[in-house]
Amino acid sequence: MKKLATAAAAAALLLPLAACGNDDAVDPRADVDSTLVVYAAASLKGTFTELAKEFEAANEGVTVQLSFGGSSDLVSQISEGAPADVFASADEKNMDTLVGDDLVSGDPQDFASNTLVIVTPPDNPGDVTSLDDLADPDLDVVVCAPQVPCGSAAQKLATAAGVTLAPDSEEQSVTDVLTKVTSGEADAGLVYVTDAKGAGNSVRTVEVPQASQVVNTYPIAVLSDAKQPGLARDWVELVTGSQGQKVLRAAGFARP
């Protein structure tokens, strides 16, 4: 009797766990309500959120689940088996990692590109006028760490302009750089044009002439483990098509 109770307790404990791992099972209502899971670089948050609404409106019963993060973070999540259907990366390197691991179905397609720009707080307390000012150790300068896409772009830009940056902090993501500038903690930061545009009046932007030499290209691809390969292809079509391109252009993204 005691054993029975133990077994029942074990079952009660394990059942919810089993339910968690049940993603693989076929949802009986799959043809009525389906969910498309899109993993996308953090800089795509605004545009993809907008496109998801359009996608849901055009496909009745379909829910788009968006997960934003640093591209390399998302790649490691996908490699560890995260249930994603589509992946959009902020650089080619991270997409190449997935392609190399055979996790991508078909060839990735480039759908947008982004360049860097200097942002300062609206009152520009450090009187920043060019990239040269970002070499001034007296100013509080914030960039991305070289390990993440926006940081490697910042380094390439500095090299192209012949400037040695003197950062006070190397942040984990471009949004962290932007926050440090909008909060007034930093005098200047290097972010993507789209981030600067998204921040509106809370930053002032300073163009860098060499920025056009350092272009981050955004590829998108359907994943080989996609549970909704059909919807995933539709999503890629939306993003690369005229409707998606219009939304991306409005946010400041350039053509790939």
Minimal distance in Å, beta carbon 34 to another protein?
Answer: 33
- Closer residue to another protein (CB): 93 or 197: 93
**Nearer to another protein (CB atom), residue 148 or residue 208:** 148
Instruction: Output the six-digit token pair for 25.
Output: 């099972």
- Write out the H or E segment, with its range, that includes residue 249: helix 242-250
| Contacting residues toward another protein, per CB under 8 A | 2, 5-6, 9-10, 13, 70, 72-73, 76, 140, 142, 145, 147-148, 167-172, 176, 180, 183-185
Give me the least distance between CB of 71 and another protein, in Å please.
9
Least distance from C-beta 245 to another protein, angstroms? 29
Candidates 161, 165, 216, 225; CA nearest to 192 is 216
Minimum CB distance to another protein smaller for 129 or for 183: 183
Task: Specify the residue, 108 or 151, whose C-beta has the smaller distance to another protein.
Answer: 151
CA atoms lying within 13 Å on the CB side of residue 86: 29
* Residues 6+ positions from 64 with CB-CB distance below 8 Å: 35, 36, 38, 52, 55, 56, 235
How near is the Cβ of 153 to another protein at its closest, in Å? Answer: 14
Question: How many Cβ atoms are within 10 Å of 23's Cβ, its own excluded?
Answer: 10
Toward another protein, which CB reaches closer, 11 or 32? 11
What does the alpha-carbon distance between residue 215 and residue 254 come to, in Å, rounded to a whole number? 9
Q: If you write DSSP's letter for every residue of 71-139 in order, what string do you get?
A: HHHHHHHHHTT---SEEE-SSHHHHHHHHHTT-EEEEEEEEEEE-EEEEE-TT-TT---SGGGGG-TTS
Q: What tokens appear for 197 in the block? A: 């545009």
Residue 47 or 72: the one with the smaller Cβ distance to another protein is: 72
